[in-house]
Structure 1
């Protein structure tokens, strides 16, 4: 198994398990507080990782444009997305919320065509249609 597939499967497993714990935690916690706790754990975890990585190798600081893009990705991908995701989990069923949240690849695909000029192929269009159909079917 190649590294790409291994890490993708580990990410899928993690994304699949996380909502169960989050839904349980949100039963008695405000979403903004939950997001704060989650961000704190993430910050602590990556800080420890970077500390040990820096001992074994050099960690380079990114350039200004990379920082701006990464910060914007954090604002949308972590702050906004996670907050709205937690609000959706607070009010909805995991089985209905997750398919909708999981439809983000369709928007990412469309934006990648606009921003990066990625090619639109028949299989990518069919895949996008199937994702939307899956969201509809799982959300029912």
Structure 2
């Protein structure tokens, strides 16, 4: 099964993504080979995302979830501005096709608006450890959607890992304070 979205086949996209997996390293917009595996960056991202809720919770002790989200988004823009300037300004954004802008807009909505607002609301009302363990269900959702849209093969170890994530969520919801 494959889907067509905006005139492009998901199966075609999947083949392109699979061929890119064979390449070693990551290429920046300037063409520099960073030479580190996607797993390294995934672990680095996980580490950063593991630290961030502590600071988020501390900030949310004195501000609303919406105010915190807006402030954090503003600050994130300021933090990436030097990198944008180093890369040559916003001119390289002109080369992004309209179809990619549509997908980036959807991704931005689900992560930076809807997802982050739900996350900040949960973080404001709950404990960072519990909230992040529940939010950790996101990779399992991604795994299922990747199988549906990109024909990604779900290996037994990915499925078992996803099931353990779900079981962890159940254990958290059964536990008391």
- TM score, norm. by length of structure 2: 0.72
Distance 1:27 1:60, change over 3 A: closer
Match of 1:87 among 110, 114, 121: 121
Q: Can you list the C-alpha shifts for 1:88-140, whole angstroms capped at 9, x where unaligned?
A: 01111112111111110110011111111111222221111111122233453
Match of 2:133 among 99, 105, 114: 99
In the alignment, structure 1 segments of 5+ residues that lack a partner are none
Measured in 1, the distance between the counterparts of 2:36 and 2:171 equals: 32
Match of 1:131 in 2: 165
- Runs of 4+ aligned residues of structure 1 deviating over 4 Å after TM superposition are none
Aligned pair count reads 138
Measured in 1, the distance between the counterparts of 2:140 and 2:37 equals: 24
In the alignment, structure 2 segments of 5+ residues that lack a partner are 1-34
Deviation at 1:13, TM superposition (A): 1.5
Match of 2:92 in 1: 59
Measured in 1, the distance between the counterparts of 2:112 and 2:139 equals: 16
Compare the two structures and name the one with the higher helix fraction: 1
Distance 1:7 1:124, change over 3 A: closer
Match of 2:152 among 111, 118, 126: 118
- TM score, norm. by length of structure 1: 0.89
Match of 2:53 in 1: 19
Q: Can you list the C-alpha shifts for 1:27-84, whole angstroms capped at 9, x where unaligned?
A: 11011110111110111122221111117xx735300000010011000011011100
Deviation at 1:10, TM superposition (A): 2.0
